Structure 1
Amino acid sequence: MATAALPVPALGVAADRYKYRYIIAMTVSLASVLELLDTSIVNVAIPHMMGNLGATLDEIAWVSTGYIVANVIILPITGWLSALFGRRRYFAGSIAIFVVSSFFCGNAHSLAALVFWRIVQGLGGGALLSTSQAILYEEFPREEYGTAMAIFGVGVMVGPTLGPTLGGYITDAFGWPWIFYINIPIGMLALALSLSFIQDSQFQVKAEKIDYVGLLLLAVGIGTLQTMLERGERLDWFDSREVITYALISAVSLIAFVWHELTTEHPVVDLRILKSRQLAVGVVFGGVLGICLYATVFVLPVYLQNLQNFTAEQTGFVILPGALASAFTMATMGRTTGKFDGRLSILAGVSIFALSMWKHAHFTTDSGMSDFFWPLIFRGVGLGLIFVPLTNLALADLPMSKIPNGTGLFNLMRQLGGSVGIAISATLVQRFTAIHRADLIANVTQFSEVTRERLAGIMARLIVTGTPAPLAESKALMVLNGQVTRQAMMLSFEQLFLLFGACFVLSLPLLLLMHRSKGMPGGAAAH
């Protein structure tokens, strides 16, 4: 851990205060990566879990849903909980809960036990993201906030990307329980480091009363919203009574929650901080970032595995260079923070991301590894240029005491945006495929010269490879049907990539509502 000995710009008491900042940065990043890896690592192991636990796809989906629902419920109240228990105790306790529940998840012998411990794991994991960000803003001197956010951002961007790869490798090599057991040694290291180096916040004010009504309304509102997003596509959205029930409960609870929090003296989530236009716009932009980040992370592996027949491991190797480009860009951005207008960096990032999506839209069913390399590098660089300046701009007007609350709302919106992105992607892939398939089939008829030639060619190949002549025609029709479906899916993926690129570009006018941040987050402490 030689990083702790890096030169410190401050002197005397300040130098002493920031002495362990790099160790603390590594600690909180480790915890955040754990949390984010577990959001996506499980998806690859789902078929193995189904066989092992005798569960249907609908039932096993609760392993993912339970974790994410618990996560989003905890996210907005992390600042309040941190003040209630003391930051050091709350952060270390959350890691401990995460580690213990990881053991029980791996050890689960029934679906009910696995879902229960995943929910507990989500309650522990939800704290790690926002509290990590708040810790970094306090443990680094103001001129190094960019570096702090870059270290944190690398984990946030790389975690969800590497999850499926790592999950696929571990599941194939050791079995699905090990995707949970691997958390234990890493979690224990993060726990030991956090107990040794992380201190309570100097700025937090403990709430005098616990807002039980606010807590209940938040848990019900966010919980049902997230459950609706997770299950909507599977249940055919608003054709299902279950989804309509989730939507109504969520809407009523969240409206009541907003009204209650704005009128109560000791709110569990201080929504009044959204009076800061900088934060309000940053939170909305964070939601768009979540939609585009998670949707493309979701769609690309589906394309690679369904149309290119890649394994989980091969998919990981395709995605890895982009993740590394993202990490490298963020590390560079951290060094330049404050030297120029952060909005220009976001503009450049969105433009490069849109260029990458345009290149994604030119993938075909015959594309190979070399075709994926540069578009994914561009995507990584684009996202890397956005994350650090967006976080610093969003929180720029908040006093240090409100930073935990601000990071909670910012991360909540990114996470909810991610769920919306995945839900939209999963639904639109099917809808677009059905539309394109109908269009293509209209041209594949017995009266079409091209169709007759294609069928004759397929039949000739089948007969040469040993298929009896009477069966060749029906088999050729099956092959042709498969080719039409593949092309329809390919067209739907191309449309989706363009859609998410356009979605990000159309959000750019939001930047005009933000001012160029002269200061850094926490600068309003004196107000």
Structure 2
Amino acid sequence: MNASTNSAPLPPLTGGKLVLATIAVALATFMNVLDSSIANVAVPTIAGNMGVSVDEGTWVITLFAAANAIAIPLTGWLTQRVGQIRLFVWAILLFVLSSWLCGIAPNLPTLLAARIVQGAVAGPLIPLSQAILLGSYPKERSSTALALWAMTATVGPIAGPALGGWITDSYSWSWIFYINIPVGIFAAGVTWFIYRTRETPTKRLPIDKVGLLSLIGWVGSLQIMLDKGKDLDWFNSPVIIALTVFAVISFVFFLIWEFTEKNPIIDIRLFAGRNFLGGTVAISIAYAVFFSNLVILPQWMQGFLDYRSVDAGLATAPLGIFAVLLAPVMAKIMPKSDARVLATLAFVGFAAVFFMRSHYTTGVDTWTLVLPTLLQGIPTALFFVPLTAIILSGLAPNKIPAAAGLSNFVRVFAGAVGTSLVSTGWNNRTILHHAQLAEQTSVNNPVFTQGLDALQATLGGSSDQAMAYFEHSLNAQAAMLGLNDIFWLSGVIFIAIVPLIWVTKPSKDASAAAAGAGGH
């Protein structure tokens, strides 16, 4: 296929072609974001089957995330060199191949190598899916394209833990990778059939080898440092200190080099635009809080409420209900609304949900757990579309893939940083609350000794059994109080970052502007 030399926007797709194209592009997006979370619940099973520790097994997640984070910001450069459609189709096919290699991996090193490839080729899928969908819809329906993209990008991480738990429990962990094969083949085939004549112009750009190597250096080392920091006791570990120093030096060098390079691997100058800067920072901080809480909530349910992995996943799944139902509503109200108002409402809604969760107790019932998650689907539906429209508003057509790639990179990387910080924060607050509660457990405290005697009488066991039960309850209470602190702080952060939205000045119809820019 020869790349088109005509840079004028092509007419939008219509009818059945538009529907089929939307399904194919959405499936490629869903497959990618699903895989970012589906393996999480399967790690203990994978580690057990391969005869390695769970800590070693977590490299399945870490290396995928690191490779993915490195590849996402390269989307703009790769698009100009290869072409938007060709890159998208090849990325899907290589994702399918690497998924198959993951499924048949006989040992951990082989699985990790396949996961690195899988993460790397998945990088361009998210930003390219945005650009392709925006270019397929007429300007006046661009908010529909953004809403559909946001719906698939949101539901994937939510469905991942439940689907991964069910597949692992019912079949084999290999099937969490095999399910990508038919989905990917369908998405690649349909995309090629519909879009092969709509390729974007290409040009032979020199490879910024120094920029690429420094990018790999700081992103890879920082990602590994964040994922392994808690296990290695953070900065008490020389490994973590070495990784941090290397990441900082590589990052500073990377910034200086990319600002002075004629053909940079990443266009950092995009941050000079107030819409891109304000929108990217706002969506990244918000996503970091949103995603990190999505990770620790099932962990708490499994660790302290005795939920099975599949049940913990199902309890968080209602988040997707309103996110899906409100997608067509968002498509209608977006062109008539100020994107900043909608994003503000989303942030206030998120804050309200987290403040609700900050009142959880150790005896919380399933409905009390599920209600805030269900309601969280409303701000989730209001979240991605307006902020994506703000980020892409006013950009030239040739800047869209690079902008989408860079903003998604910052967002995904912020999610990794947020997850690490929140997990560590929860652990530290749990230790603090445990110490405070334990201060009351003295034999000189008559209330404590009376309670222990009553517990021993109820259990009908020895004092050691009563003490063990009490310690278990103390741990659960400390973890709950620590988690409540995290929820409360999350709500405060969402309120605090609202002003970032109002730093931007998107065009009157930001989503239409973005769609115009996305046309090819």
Q: Which TM bucket (shorter chain)?
A: over 0.9
1:269 pairs, out of 266, 269, 286, with 266
Instruction: Spell out structure 1 runs of 4+ moving beyond 3 A.
Output: 13-19, 199-205, 522-526
Shift of 1:357: 0.3
In the alignment, which residue of structure 1 is the partner of 2:306? 309
- The structure whose RCO (Cα within 8 Å, separation 6+) is larger is 2
Shift of 1:113: 0.2
> What do residues 396-434 of structure 1 show as CA deviations (whole Å, max 9, x unaligned)?
021111000110011111101110111012111211111
Within 5 Å, give how 1:363-512 maps onto structure 2: 363-463=360-460, 467=461, 472-512=462-502
Could you tell which deviates more after superposition, 70-79 or 254-263?
254-263
The amino acid across from 1:50 in the alignment is A
Shift of 1:16: 5.7
Distance in 1 separating the partners of 2:450 and 2:201: 75
Structure 1: segments with no counterpart, 5+ residues? 1-12
SS in 1 for 2:265: coil
- Aligned: 1:517 with 2:498: no
> What do residues 308-343 of structure 1 show as CA deviations (whole Å, max 9, x unaligned)?
211122112211222211222333212211201111
- Aligned: 1:119 with 2:100: no
Within 5 Å, give how 1:4-19 maps onto structure 2: 14=11
Quote the RMSD (CA, aligned, Å): 1.8
Could you tell which deviates more after superposition, 426-435 or 208-217?
208-217
Distance in 2 separating the partners of 1:191 and 1:216: 30
> Contact (CA 8 Å) 1:37, 1:159: kept in 2 or not?
yes
The amino acid across from 2:340 in the alignment is R
Distance in 2 separating the partners of 1:428 and 1:436: 12
Distance in 2 separating the partners of 1:183 and 1:522: 29
In the alignment, which residue of structure 1 is the partner of 2:333? 336
SS in 1 for 2:52: coil
Instruction: Go from structure 1 to structure 2 and tell me whether the alpha carbon gap of 1:15 and 1:407 turns closer, same or farther (over 3 Å shift).
Output: closer
> Contact (CA 8 Å) 1:87, 1:201: kept in 2 or not?
no
Instruction: Go from structure 1 to structure 2 and tell me whether the alpha carbon gap of 1:258 and 1:316 turns closer, same or farther (over 3 Å shift).
Output: same
In the alignment, which residue of structure 2 is the partner of 1:293? 290
In the alignment, which residue of structure 1 is the partner of 2:210? 213
With normalisation by structure 1, the TM-score equals: 0.93
SS in 2 for 1:337: helix
Distance in 2 separating the partners of 1:15 and 1:375: 39
> What do residues 38-92 of structure 1 show as CA deviations (whole Å, max 9, x unaligned)?
1111111111111111112222111111111110100001121122112222111
> What do residues 426-445 of structure 1 show as CA deviations (whole Å, max 9, x unaligned)?
11121111100000011122
Shift of 1:17: 6.9
Could you tell which deviates more after superposition, 231-240 or 71-80?
231-240
Shift of 1:15: 6.0
The amino acid across from 1:474 in the alignment is D
> Contact (CA 8 Å) 1:353, 1:382: kept in 2 or not?
yes
Instruction: Go from structure 1 to structure 2 and tell me whether the alpha carbon gap of 1:242 and 1:204 turns closer, same or farther (over 3 Å shift).
Output: farther
The amino acid across from 2:498 in the alignment is L
Within 5 Å, give how 1:25-424 maps onto structure 2: 25-199=22-196, 204-424=201-421
The amino acid across from 2:73 in the alignment is P
The amino acid across from 1:370 in the alignment is W
> What do residues 337-356 of structure 1 show as CA deviations (whole Å, max 9, x unaligned)?
12011111111111111110
The amino acid across from 2:246 in the alignment is I
Distance in 2 separating the partners of 1:391 and 1:35: 19
With normalisation by structure 2, the TM-score equals: 0.94
Shift of 1:204: 4.7
Shift of 1:203: 5.5
SS in 2 for 1:188: helix
> Contact (CA 8 Å) 1:88, 1:198: kept in 2 or not?
yes
Distance in 2 separating the partners of 1:50 and 1:179: 15
> Contact (CA 8 Å) 1:101, 1:121: kept in 2 or not?
yes
Distance in 2 separating the partners of 1:199 and 1:46: 39
Instruction: Go from structure 1 to structure 2 and tell me whether the alpha carbon gap of 1:313 and 1:58 turns closer, same or farther (over 3 Å shift).
Output: closer
SS in 2 for 1:515: coil
Distance in 2 separating the partners of 1:266 and 1:413: 21
> Contact (CA 8 Å) 2:393, 2:506: kept in 1 or not?
no
Structure 2: segments with no counterpart, 5+ residues? 1-9
Could you tell which deviates more after superposition, 517-526 or 256-265?
517-526
Instruction: Go from structure 1 to structure 2 and tell me whether the alpha carbon gap of 1:240 and 1:204 turns closer, same or farther (over 3 Å shift).
Output: farther
> Contact (CA 8 Å) 2:12, 2:138: kept in 1 or not?
no
Distance in 1 separating the partners of 2:69 and 2:437: 42
Could you tell which deviates more after superposition, 155-164 or 371-380?
371-380
Shift of 1:523: 4.9
> Contact (CA 8 Å) 2:234, 2:240: kept in 1 or not?
yes
Shift of 1:23: 2.0
Shift of 1:294: 1.0
Distance in 1 separating the partners of 2:466 and 2:14: 73
The amino acid across from 2:309 in the alignment is A
SS in 2 for 1:69: helix
Distance in 1 separating the partners of 2:69 and 2:471: 42
Instruction: Go from structure 1 to structure 2 and tell me whether the alpha carbon gap of 1:64 and 1:45 turns closer, same or farther (over 3 Å shift).
Output: same
SS in 1 for 2:505: coil
> Contact (CA 8 Å) 1:24, 1:197: kept in 2 or not?
yes
Instruction: Go from structure 1 to structure 2 and tell me whether the alpha carbon gap of 1:192 and 1:49 turns closer, same or farther (over 3 Å shift).
Output: same
Length, aligned pairs only = 507
